[in-house]
A and B are shown apart, each in its own frame.
Chain A
Amino acid sequence: MSTATATDTTVPKEKTKKTSELKEVLKHLIRNRAAVAGLVIIGFFLIVAVFAPFIATHSPTATSLVTRLQRPSAEHLLGTDELGRDLFSRMVFGSRISLNIGLISTLIGVVFGVPIGAVSGYYGGKLDIITQRFIDIMIAFPGILLAIVVVTVLGVGVQNVMIATGIASVPVYARLVRGSVLAVKEQSYVAAARAAGLGDFSIIFKHILPNCLAPIIVQSTFQIATSILWAAGLGFLGLGAQAPTPEWGAILSNGRAYIRTAHHLTTYPGLAILFMVLGFNLVGDGLRDALDPKTR
């Protein structure tokens, strides 16, 4: 019972059951072509990010005013930017930043949002009402707007963008987990755990939350995509990574001034953002289907 990690409809008892459940999910995921495409895209960007120093052909920050705004060539695979920096190398290093922002800010959202939602849903009553009204207030702001507010307070920079997008995703998790907890806490095994004299803390974290994992995983995949998009948006507005950090949104924003004379500065970062977000969204879709027994 204490190792339960499946969806809310099954009450796994043995290890074999767990592995078979995982296998089942993977099987469905791999059968879903769109999800596989998403996995390939994410895998591609992961490899690029991890091996960035080996893949990049130039320093991402070295300027050269004589070779600025060059079109793609053998020397500069994607051309050069307004300061003569190699766009390919900047894009390669930029994948690290975008993935980092996506993962860390989602982690922040999970770490704060999940306990808030769980406690709020489990105890109910006044605590629930107060928490949920705060969450309502946060949800009332569009996520990107909330992130802008947070960045304005904290100041610009990659770290603060992670915190800002993380905070902006907290209400999403809090709401989601509260809903799941409300459903799960009525289950008989929760009542059994309570009858066995377990404390609230271990009931929430050992028995209820593991059974809410599926929606959290699915949401996280989407949230990574959303965070990357928000971060690129903040970078585009000049509120994200600061020069000369090769953040995709910032590259896109800087390139905008040259769209008529050197469109490669906007085309490639735009495509990169598009594909990375698409990859996570496809996998998220696939996971949702694979984890939902009704659609299997």
Chain B
Amino acid sequence: MRTTHTRGLMTVVAIGLTVLFLFLMGCPSETAEETEVRDTLTIAIGAEPESLDPVNMTSAPAATVGEHVIERLIYMEEDGSLVPMLAESWSANDDSTVWTFNIRQGVQFHDGEPLNAEAVAVNLRRFVDPEVGAAYAFLLGSVQEITAVSEYELELRLAQPFAPILSHLSHSFIGIVSPAQLEGLGPNDAIEIPVGTGPYVMDAWNRGESITMSVNADYYGNTPQIENLVFNFIPEASARIVALETGEADAIMAVPPQDASRLDSDPNIDVVYQTSVRTIYISFNNVREPFTDRRVRLAMNHAIDKQAIVDGLFGGNAFVADAPVVDAVFGHVSVGPYEYNPDLARELLAEAGFEDGLDITIHHPTGRYPLDATVAEAVQDMLADVGVNATLETREWSSYLSFTAQPPELAEYDTFLLGWGTVTLDSDYGLFALLHTQQWNPNGNNRGFYSNERVDELLSAARVETDPSAREVMYAEAIELIWDDAPWIFLYNEGQINAVRSNVGGLIHHPLENLSAWDAFFID
């Protein structure tokens, strides 16, 4: 009996050792194999692009994914300078109403079609076609005529000078796809898998899951080193982090601030902090009582401890807003912030006749911006401190956008939290769209119905003025007036936090909230 037992035990030990031995043997060879064939870079992002058809793109995730496949005429570097992309050079006539672009020669689309001025013209005409109704057609709103004057010369005729035209042409949504793909497309038809000129060729779109790309061997610029590129969509931030930690993803975007320091202490992971061009604000409904009273608006600006939000919630990776646009934007001047002063806020409210307090509603999205709902709750509590009793209401993102897009007589909101990224780095995009009277809902993005005649004048004049220093003066005055009117509770400018596995280099973490992989490589 006893010997059988011992023999049984020995067998178990022997099997165990063998398994362990095999496992140890297997380990190094497996890793070696893995490093040899590492040809796929996986990036996990929080949201899936709504579309990759240039006329239907509206979000930062679409821009990030799309720019690997489709390119535009001009590229905006991280420092905001505009450099040639599909246009090699450009020039304007004396009054800046006729722009000529020299299209890069010898470039092929992924389907073999050649790139020329006509191909670009077909794309731009589709972009501004009112029948197609591109969401961002306003980017080229001043363009009247688009003609290919020769094989590689494109001419844009404007109704009047439009100062930010070049930065608008650098916008990620004005991508150029193969004219063969557009042939026979009706005004309401959309492209699913765009055929562009970019460093990567899009292979497949697994809805709800991922987009896969492979390298464009015929790329006119530097061919990327990494063969395959995958964008995974993982909405839950904690799941994104786990994907990075386990190596399932090589890079992730939008790391929640509270996880940044923990990730940073992981030797296999680098956390990358980058500025953003997005400013977060709570807009008043400026045509609704009691927000028509400037004292109420000022009071609420003074009631919010912006610094505490930036330090406490974002761990310092955000910046108290000192103007309606971030400081990297052309035309920005620092005019704020409003001092945190609850006593002054109470005084102003009392002056306005609300010494006994005031009931308001704050609408806010949840999960669109980092910590958006948490910020709304912090604001709610700070307002309570000065006697403003705020009720929070949240909605799902797309219904939130349409809810805040009602014309003034139908707008049922007191205040709402939103963010705006001035991705052209020009004040026109940040101020005209959000604060000009012409842009009141439902015509544009002035959802808070702010209106100031002088501001309108300045913003309109700065659009057609071609002298940059004269524009700067105009924007400075406009920003000062806007700040003084306090149509928003000015909150903070976002910072971006991405995280990358340490064996990946060369990723571009762009302030425009793009993560670009065409220069990426594996470090071994």
1/0 per residue B62-88: CB within 8 Å of A? 000000000000000000000000000
Please report the C-alpha to C-alpha distance between residue A17 and residue B94 in the assembled complex, in whole angstroms: 107
B366 within 8 A of A: yes
Whether the pair A257, B381 counts as a contact (CB closer than 8 A) is no
Per DSSP, are chain A's interface residues mostly helix, strand or loop, or mixed?
A: loop
Shortest CB distance A10–B (Å):
53
Partner pick for B381 among A62, A68, A242, CB 8 A cutoff: A62
A189 within 8 A of B: no
Shortest CB distance A243–B (Å):
5
Partner pick for B376 among A243, A256, A258, CB 8 A cutoff: A243
Please report the C-alpha to C-alpha distance between residue A254 and residue B305 in the assembled complex, in whole angstroms: 22
B47 within 8 A of A: no
Determine the chain A residues whose CB is within 8 A of the CB of B376 once the complex forms. 243
Whether the pair B238, A61 counts as a contact (CB closer than 8 A) is no
Whether the pair B259, A242 counts as a contact (CB closer than 8 A) is no
Of B311, B366, B378, most A-chain CB atoms within 10 Å? B378
A115 within 8 A of B: no
Whether the pair A63, B262 counts as a contact (CB closer than 8 A) is no
Determine the chain A residues whose CB is within 8 A of the CB of B444 once the complex forms. none
In the complex, chain A residues 237-255 whose Cβ is within 8 Å of any chain B Cβ: 238, 242-244, 254
A145 within 8 A of B: no
Partner pick for A260 among B238, B313, B373, CB 8 A cutoff: B238
Partner pick for A257 among B238, B309, B311, B391, CB 8 A cutoff: B238
B393 within 8 A of A: yes
Please report the C-alpha to C-alpha distance between residue A262 and residue B238 in the assembled complex, in whole angstroms: 13
1/0 per residue B255-268: CB within 8 Å of A? 01011001000000
Nearest to B311 among chain A residues (CB) is: A65
Please report the C-alpha to C-alpha distance between residue A84 and residue B259 in the assembled complex, in whole angstroms: 17
Determine the chain A residues whose CB is within 8 A of the CB of B137 once the complex forms. none
B479 within 8 A of A: no
A40 within 8 A of B: no
Determine the chain B residues whose CB is within 8 A of the CB of A258 once the complex forms. 258
Whether the pair A244, B380 counts as a contact (CB closer than 8 A) is yes
A83 within 8 A of B: yes
Determine the chain B residues whose CB is within 8 A of the CB of A84 once the complex forms. 312
1/0 per residue B200-238: CB within 8 Å of A? 000000000000000000000000000000000000011
For the complex, count residues of A whose C-beta is within 8 A of B: 23
B377 within 8 A of A: yes
A195 within 8 A of B: no
Determine the chain A residues whose CB is within 8 A of the CB of B366 once the complex forms. 238
Shortest CB distance A62–B (Å):
7
Please report the C-alpha to C-alpha distance between residue A260 and residue B373 in the assembled complex, in whole angstroms: 19
A259 within 8 A of B: yes
Shortest CB distance A89–B (Å):
14
A-B contact count (CB 8 A): 59
Of A62, A243, A262, most B-chain CB atoms within 10 Å? A243
Shortest CB distance A163–B (Å):
18
Determine the chain B residues whose CB is within 8 A of the CB of A242 once the complex forms. 391-394
Interface residues on B, range: 20 to 34
A82 within 8 A of B: yes
Of B256, B309, B377, B393, most A-chain CB atoms within 10 Å? B377
| Known contacts A238-B366, A258-B258, A260-B241; A244/B313 CB under 8 A | no
B374 within 8 A of A: yes
Partner pick for B308 among A65, A244, A259, A260, CB 8 A cutoff: A65
Please report the C-alpha to C-alpha distance between residue A63 and residue B309 in the assembled complex, in whole angstroms: 11
Nearest to A258 among chain B residues (CB) is: B258
Shortest CB distance A208–B (Å):
46
Nearest to A69 among chain B residues (CB) is: B258
Whether the pair A63, B378 counts as a contact (CB closer than 8 A) is yes
Whether the pair B237, A61 counts as a contact (CB closer than 8 A) is no
In the complex, chain A residues 155-169 whose Cβ is within 8 Å of any chain B Cβ: 156
Whether the pair B312, A257 counts as a contact (CB closer than 8 A) is no
A66 within 8 A of B: yes
Please report the C-alpha to C-alpha distance between residue A66 and residue B307 in the assembled complex, in whole angstroms: 11
Of A68, A84, A257, A258, most B-chain CB atoms within 10 Å? A257
Determine the chain A residues whose CB is within 8 A of the CB of B391 once the complex forms. 242
Nearest to A67 among chain B residues (CB) is: B312
Please report the C-alpha to C-alpha distance between residue A69 and residue B371 in the assembled complex, in whole angstroms: 14
Please report the C-alpha to C-alpha distance between residue A259 and residue B258 in the assembled complex, in whole angstroms: 10
1/0 per residue B366-386: CB within 8 Å of A? 100000011011101110000
Determine the chain B residues whose CB is within 8 A of the CB of A62 once the complex forms. 381
Please report the C-alpha to C-alpha distance between residue A160 and residue B152 in the assembled complex, in whole angstroms: 64
Whether the pair A63, B259 counts as a contact (CB closer than 8 A) is no
Please report the C-alpha to C-alpha distance between residue A62 and residue B377 in the assembled complex, in whole angstroms: 11
Please report the C-alpha to C-alpha distance between residue A197 and residue B377 in the assembled complex, in whole angstroms: 64
A261 within 8 A of B: yes
Determine the chain A residues whose CB is within 8 A of the CB of B377 once the complex forms. 63, 83, 243-244
Nearest to B237 among chain A residues (CB) is: A257
Shortest CB distance B259–A (Å):
6
7 extra interface residue pairs, beta carbon distance < 8 Å, beyond A243-B376, A257-B258, A260-B262 = A62-B381, A63-B378, A65-B309, A82-B313, A82-B374, A242-B391, A257-B237
| 28 CB-based A-B contacts, threshold 8 Å | A62-B381, A63-B377, A63-B378, A63-B381, A63-B382, A65-B305, A65-B309, A65-B311, A65-B378, A66-B308, A66-B312, A82-B258, A82-B313, A82-B374, A156-B393, A242-B394, A243-B373, A243-B376, A243-B377, A243-B380, A243-B392, A244-B380, A254-B373, A256-B238, A257-B256, A259-B238, A261-B259, A262-B258
Interface residues of A (CB under 8 A from B): 61-63, 65-66, 68-69, 82-84, 156, 238, 242-244, 254, 256-262
